[in-house]
Amino acid sequence: QDDCSEFRSQFEAGGRLSCTRENAPVRDASGRQHTNKCLMCAERFKKEAQRGGGTLQRNKLPASERTKQ
């Protein structure tokens, strides 16, 4: 199982995670390849935020702030 715990403290509201673009390919649990682990985790966090689940819920922006983005 892929572990993104090292990036959890770095994510921003809405599941955004600032990542570098170094080329260190990694595959997620479904077999999809990502440029690096950070980008893989960023995608995972974004999906979690869209579902409104997990630890991302505590950092979710109010609806009024989401419309400004």
The per-residue pLDDT for range 5-33, each reduced to its tens digit, is 889 888 876 667 889 889 999 999 899 99
- CA atoms in the 13 A half-sphere facing the CB of 26: 16
Band the pLDDT of 64: cuts 50, 70, 90.
very low
State residue 14's pLDDT score.
61
Q: Which CATH number fits domain 4-51: 3.30.60.30, 3.40.50.150, 1.10.645.10, 2.40.160.10?
A: 3.30.60.30
Residue type at position 27: R
Does residue 65 have a pLDDT over 70? Answer: no
Give the per-residue pLDDT at 33.
Answer: 96
Are 44 and 28 contacting, i.e. CB atoms less than 8 angstroms apart?
A: yes
pLDDT reading at 68 higher than 50: no
Whole-angstrom Cα distance, residue 20 to residue 51? Answer: 25
Query: Is the pTM above the cut of 0.75?
Result: no
Whether residue 36 contacts residue 26, with contact meaning beta carbons closer than 8 Å, is answered with: yes
